[in-house]
Amino acid sequence: MSGIVVVGSANIDQVLRVERIPSPGETVLSHGLSTALGGKGQNQAVAAARAGVATTFIGAVGADGFGEMVRAGLSCDAIDVSHLKTTDKPTGTALIAVDGTGENTIIVEAGANTDVANLTNDDVAAISSASALVMQLEIPRDTVTEAARIARAAGTQVILNAAPIQVLPRELLDNVDVLIVNEHEAAELARDNDLAPELEGLGERLLALIPTVIVTLGSKGASLHREGSQPVMVPAHRVTAVDATGAGDTFCGAFAAGLVEGMEADDALRFAGAAASISVENHGAVPSIPYREAIETRLKESVN
Ligand code: ATP
Ligand code: RIB
């Protein structure tokens, strides 16, 4: 078994830079529009590949120029695109506004990502021979559930980034080894499963659902929770944030890469935090994802 398989979304991000995010009914002027590769699945695959692990992407794009951009971009990062389908829906698109503090709001039109379904025999073989399967929730939930079941049966480690959050079926939860969520997603998941949603102790309470839970906390860092172990808190590197888009994805892809390389979970958490801290210093999702060397350099710097 080797490498990482990502089953997930690929989008083209249309990013507008604004002084502040508009309230409902309000119009604001943008001071810059850029088009970049994104989508949680694509971002996580690129993060794993740039961290140095052989990566395969299972997803779908449209028969359009954006689909070609996605295919070319993934290939450029040496990601195996032989499982990337082309369908008759347009390539997924995200409209993103980023404000002066680096915070964002995102609206996603899933497009071709809704066609990530009916895993083929080749897809099943790829998942079954991987060390880890990494997924998010921008593709049909049934596909995520099916892929997790296939991975569990084959002994492939299942890492789920439950974003954007939605109700997760028991069958999916039962086949996930590592859950990665931000505080908002963690609270929603707790609420959906009749657990107390208060932030204090949330990661520990989610262990009732999944044996390893990571809660990302933005500029505060991330916490690791495991059955039978004390929680581990890793503070974030202090950086000047210009754009948080894809920070969570960079974290997930780099964390998976660390685990697959054989790092202990807490070391993989530090590795992921270093990678994510670099991504917030730069604009865009895929364009801001760091390569291995930059992550190693950041790791040598003290957190504060
Ligand atoms: P996004 O949706 O913006 O991709 P997220 O909400 O899924 O992100 P966050 O918890 O905001 O995830 O961030 C993920 C990780 O990125 C954090 O655990 C941290 O390691 C790093 N990070 C995020 N923001 C900052 C920041 N301002 N400074 C340093 N590191 C950061
Ligand atoms: O997590 C960031 C990503 O969310 C963006 O790249 C956007 O495409 C949406 O999927």
pLDDT digits (tens, 9 = 90+) for 175-216: 999 999 999 999 999 999 999 999 999 999 999 999 999 999
The pLDDT assigned to 1 comes to 84
Ligand nearest to the CA of 136: 2
Reported as a single tens digit per residue, the pLDDT across 55-87 is 999 999 999 999 999 999 999 999 999 999 999
Q: Is the pLDDT of residue 241 over 90?
A: yes
Place of tokens 């609420």: 191
Mean pLDDT, range 82-103, rounded to an integer: 96
Region 166-182: what's the mean pLDDT?
Answer: 98
Decide if 6 contacts 57 (C-beta within 8 A). Answer: yes
246 Cβ below 6 A of ligand 2: yes
Distance CA 152, CA 175 (A): 6
Tens-digit pLDDT profile for residues 115-156:
999 999 999 999 999 999 999 999 999 999 999 999 999 999
Cis preceding-peptide flag for 90 (omega within 30 of 0): no
State the distance from the centre of ligand 1 to the C-alpha of 247, rounded, in angstroms.
5
Q: How far is the CA of 163 from the centre of ligand 2 (A)?
A: 10
6, 9, 11, 250: residue to mutate for ligand 2 pocket, most atoms within 8 A of CB: 11
According to DSSP, the β-strands at 178-182 and 232-234 are unpaired
- Is residue 303 scored above 80 in pLDDT? no
Ligand 1 atom 13: residue of nearest CA: 218
Q: Which ligand is nearest to the CA of 298?
A: 1
Catalytic residue among 115, 249, 266, 267: 249
Q: Is the pLDDT of residue 168 over 90?
A: yes
Ligand 1 pocket, residue 241 CB under 6 Å: yes
> Do residues 295 and 278 touch, judged by C-beta distance below 8 A?
yes
Distance 277 CA to ligand 2 centre (A): 17
**Spacing, Cα 52 to ligand 2 middle (Å):** 22
Q: For residue 217, which ligand has an atom nearest its CA?
A: 1
Label the pairing between strands 132-135 and 157-161.
parallel
Q: Which helix (H) or strand (E) holds 277?
A: helix 265-279
Among all chains, which residue has been given the structure tokens 């530090």? 270
The position carrying tokens 């949680």 is 40
DSSP assignment letter at 74: H
CA of 229 to the centre of ligand 2 (A): 32
The closest alpha carbon to 257, from 74, 54, 59, belongs to: 54
Q: Any bridge partners for residue 223, and if so which?
A: 215, 233
**Ligand 1 within 6 A of CB of 185:** no
> Residue 239 corresponds to which tokens in the numbers above?
């950086």
What pLDDT is attached to residue 304? 59
- How far apart (Å, rounded) are the C-alpha atoms in residues 96 and 103? 10
Contact 52/295 with Cβ under 8 angstroms? no
Pocket test for ligand 2, best of 6, 12, 13 (most atoms within 8 A of CB): 13
Please indicate whether residue 80 is annotated as part of the active site: no
Only one residue has tokens 């502040």, namely 20
Contacts for 48 with CB less than 8 Å, ≥ 6 apart: 4, 6, 55, 134, 253, 254, 256, 257, 260
Say how many Å lie between the CA of residue 125 and the centre of ligand 1: 33
Please write the tens of the pLDDT for every residue from 283-300.
Answer: 999 999 999 999 999 999
Choose one of 219, 281, 304 to mutate for the ligand 1 pocket test, by most ligand atoms within 8 angstroms of C-beta: 219
pLDDT at 174: 98
Task: Looking at the structure, give the CATH architecture of the domain made up of residues 4-22+31-303.
Answer: 3-Layer(aba) Sandwich (3.40)
Residue owning the nearest CA to atom 27 of ligand 1: 219
Assign 302 a pLDDT band (cuts: 50, 70, 90): confident
What mean pLDDT, rounded, does the chain reach?
97
Q: How many CB atoms lie within 10 A of CB 252?
A: 30
The ligand 1 atom at the shortest distance from the C-alpha of residue 249 is 4
Pocket of ligand 2 contains residue 161 by CB under 6 Å:
no
Q: Nearest bound ligand to CA 244?
A: 1
Measure the CA–CA gap between 29 and 110, rounded to whole angstroms: 26
DSSP string, 209-268: T-SEEEEE-GGG-EEEEETTS--EEEPPPP---S--TTHHHHHHHHHHHHHHHT--HHHH
pTM of the model: 0.97
Domain spans in the chain, listed from the N-terminal domain onward: 4-22+31-303
